[in-house]
Structure 1
Amino acid sequence: MQLINNIPVWGDPLLEAVEQMKTALQYDAFAGCLMADHHIGYSVPVGGVIAYENKICVNGVGFDIACGNKAVRVDADPNYLISNIYRTMNEVQKNISFGVGRKNKEKVEHPLFDDPLWEEIPLLRSLKSKAYEQLGTVGSGNHYVDLFIDELNRVWIGVHFGSRGLGHSICTHFIKEGGGKDGVHAAPVIFDENSDLGQQYLKCMELAGKYAYAGRDWVCERVAKILRASIQEEIHNHHNFAWKENHFGKDLWVVRKGATPAFPNQKGFVGGSMGDISVILEGKDTEEAQKGLYSTVHGAGRQMGRIQAKGKVCRRTGKVLKEGLVNKQAHEDWMTKAQVELRGGGLDESPFAYKRIEHVLNSHNGSIRILHTLKPIGVCMASENEFDPYKD
């Protein structure tokens, strides 16, 4: 960890993201820091943690409110799973809804929809039907359902997605209500927590958080059913959210945008790229951890943008407008060597588009410890070239 302009920064600093955090801190923020997977985002960097006293930042939480990871350990037979991975991943792809604006193929009943907030707040009332249809859908971009085997030869299911169209619509609404703009360099939209807009936003954010948890729960349970397995252990965290916490003797709203909560002994699931390991980790109680507001990475972090990675093709003519930096053959060779059964995913999600997760995690040695290393054997994502407005 190093201090840059008094901002704690882990990993290799990306100056554009550091400058963005420096600017964001000027808008009534109390403290901020950057995790090792940081990169520039909308108003606040992804991989950024920023804290406010009595205030909440809408575009700090971001568009995919309550995006997060869940990992469950199941009692499936690893040898049987490996020998049947082709069929199993076909079943995952068939039964779980991936892609843009999809409705769930199965009707999901959940007590979440009995919450009186759906009727109390007009915005939520207008979004309830769409939210009901999308519960349990995964989306596209970097969202996934993975199967892993750990160092003890145990099977894990891992998922990554958020609150889908519900969260996106909530964020869009409150940015507009706060007089803000949508854009990378737009000023943060900040409400006093006790203002009418602040209270409405916090209620909507909390409900989106419950919705995202319910969606990830459902997908993990559905995949466990495909494996004919029972869930033995669950690890579940948001990484796009705001929590009321006490740091440095003050009660603060801590906004983590692409950052995993990592309080002492708190477990987290952090995923690498489709061809890399993922990990189960836990936070330490150290001075370094305190400086990071008890936070850590949420993934490996991109080392190139999507267009940089895959290039650009005219959809109408098929003409290549810009060559991508990721070579298709090299990508396929990597995945073959990694022995991963892949469904969906494009060159913009290739391991070549991401940092190596081991390097990123090593930057946080002073604040986390690795409990388990998960090797992917099956990865399912949306098909190539799908744009998802509801992702991070």
Structure 2
Amino acid sequence: MSHSTAFPVALSGSRDRVQMWAAEADVENEALAQLRRVAQLPWVHGVRVMPDVHVGKGATIGSVIAMNQAVSPSAVGVDIGCGVAAVRTSIRADQLVGLEMLRASVEAAIPVGFNAHEELPDLRRFGLEAGVDGLFGKFESLDEKVHRLRNKAVGQLGTLGGGNHFLELCLDQEDRVWITLHSGSRNIGKTLADRHISIAKSLGHNQGLVDRELAVFLEGTPQMDAYKHDLWWAQEYAAKSRALMLALFKESVVRHFEGLDMGFDAPINVHHNYVNEETIDGQTLLVTRKGAIRAGAGDLALIPGSMGTGSYIVRGRGNPGSYFSASHGAGRKMSRTAAKKRYSAQDLAAQTMGIECRKDAGVVDEIPAAYKDIHQVIEAQKDLVDVVGHLRTILCVKG
């Protein structure tokens, strides 16, 4: 990966609409083709590409797309509101004991994979009841095709899911313990996204597009209004879900270290698959970040690596050139299928040595070697974020 002073570079064949914090030679051809197709959409003001860029379904992961009076639901992705949360604790490395027991306790408190809460935890314990009551009070106003999913959505609030989603304990350079996690809007977000992507593809103005997967909604239409309504709801659901998981994780930690006087800093909780209305180049535009975070001046965020390679806490530099954005993580360099063919559970155990985590065949597709080097990804965006600290993983829960 080239040195960051060379960035951004214009993507060839994109009429300078696409500016990249990655070298073309380091990006797979299909991702470059996806970015060029996005640049051809008449509503696109510009595209900014992060150093963790890789092929995505519909639109490229690691892309920031600013559109005028339009939004493409595929450019958000199906995990609406997916993002990360982190909180620093007062515990230090030398106080850590019984990590295997702690992992079991966290897995018991926070359902993973396809599992859900049998009943929602008592939200009054965490001061979250008003927000969640308000969230589900709006459920009937969502797309009518998802009303039957209400009970499932309630049960999946505050649950992890699978894939690259995680719950981790990490240590910073001062040996302070951090809680970090990565999750999104679960099945309800995906169902809403799939519904709206299908509706967008059927609209007349999207016929004959360079790529039907990039079908858009136009401002001022009932379809856009309906999408925005469901989108804002799913983004709120994802953020509340992370807040509940953080609370449950903290509770498990407090219980595990009974007798320690424990404190927690203010949490970080940010989306990296979402839409926001922002002022870009003096215009009010709809900005979609798919695998990218907002990195406005002073914004704190978490940029995770892969399983076992730790994460970075960063502070945004507010660079207008990137549309005030930065990468969301390390980014895959190998598909899940390719990783499973190439690596074994033994390889996973070797690459996660010293970390309390699953080391079985079920999570081999999440092996660190399937991802780009997080340190190089951070280096490539030195003009977008300042590093506050590097976190090294000591415990990781996967779905």
What residue identity is the alignment partner of 2:21? W
Query: Residues 24-39 of structure 1 correspond to what in structure 2 (within 5 A)?
Result: 24-27=38-41, 28-39=43-54
Cα shift readout 1:68-114 (whole Å, capped 9, x = no counterpart): 00001122343222x221211111122211112x2224424543343
Q: Distance in 1 between matches of 2:94 and 2:119?
A: 30
Q: CA deviation at 1:179?
A: 2.7
Shift of 1:251: 0.3
* Per-residue deviation, 1:327: 4.2
C-alpha deviation, 1:380, in angstroms: 0.4
Partner of 1:53: 68
Q: 3-state DSSP class of the match of 2:386?
A: strand
Q: List, as ranges, runs of 4+ consecutive aligned residues in structure 1 with deviation greater than 4 Å.
A: none
Match of 2:316 among 262, 283, 301: 283
Are residue 9 (structure 1) and residue 26 (structure 2) matched? no
The corresponding residue for 2:171 is: 149
The answer (yes or no) to whether the contact 1:124–1:204 under 8 Å persists in 2 is no
Bigger helix share: 2
* Structure 1 partner of 2:58: 43
Matched, 1:294 2:314: no
- The superposition leaves residues 105-142 of structure 1 with CA deviations (integer Å, 9 ceiling, x where unpaired) of 44245433434532233345343222111111111000
Listed as ranges, the matches of 1:1-392 within 5 Å are: 1=7, 2-5=9-12, 6=16, 7-13=18-24, 14=27, 15-27=29-41, 28-81=43-96, 83-100=97-114, 102-108=115-121, 109=123, 110-111=129-130, 112-115=132-135, 116-121=137-142, 122-123=144-145, 125-179=147-201, 186-228=212-254, 229-285=262-318, 289-310=319-340, 324-336=341-353, 339-343=354-358, 346-382=363-399
Alpha carbons 2:139, 2:147 under 8 Å: kept: yes
Structure 1: how far apart are the matches of 2:249 and 2:58? 36
Q: One-letter code of the match for 2:164?
A: N
Given that 2:81 and 2:235 are in contact with CA atoms closer than 8 Å, whether structure 1 keeps it comes out as yes
Contact 1:104–1:137 (CA under 8 A) maintained in structure 2: yes
**Identity %, equivalent residues:** 28
Letter of the 1:176 partner, please give it: S
Residue equivalent to 1:319: none
Change (3 A) 1:75 1:123: farther
| Alignment partners' CA distance in 1, 2:168 and 2:380 | 25
Aligned residues: 359
Q: Is the 8 A contact 2:308 2:394 kept in 1?
A: no
Q: CA 1:106–1:88 in structure 2 vs 1: closer, same or farther (change >3 Å)?
A: farther
Q: Secondary structure at the match of 2:342?
A: coil
Indicate conservation of the 8 Å contact 1:270/1:278, yes or no. Answer: yes
CA–CA distance in structure 1, aligned partners of residues 347 and 189 of structure 2? 36
1:285-333 CA distances to partner (integer Å, 9 max, x unpaired)?
4xxx2221111111111111011001xxxxxxxxxxxxx1124433322
Q: How far off its partner does 1:154 sit? A: 1.2
Structure 2, unaligned runs of 5 or more: 1-6, 124-128, 204-210, 255-261
Letter of the 1:239 partner, please give it. Answer: H
Structure 1 length-normalised TM: 0.87
Preserved CA contact (<8 Å) 2:201 2:213: no
Does the 8 Å contact 1:43/1:187 carry over to 2?
yes
Deviations along 1:176-235, whole A, 9 cap, x unmatched? 222359xxx643121112211101111111111111111111111111111114422211
The change in CA–CA distance for 1:180 and 1:335 in structure 2 (over 3 A counts) is farther
Counterpart amino acid of residue 323 in structure 2: L
Q: Is the 8 A contact 2:87 2:266 kept in 1?
A: yes
Residue by residue over 1:341-378, the C-alpha shift from the partner in whole angstroms, topping out at 9 and shown as x without a partner, is 11366111001111110011100011111001111000
Amino acid at match of 1:153: D
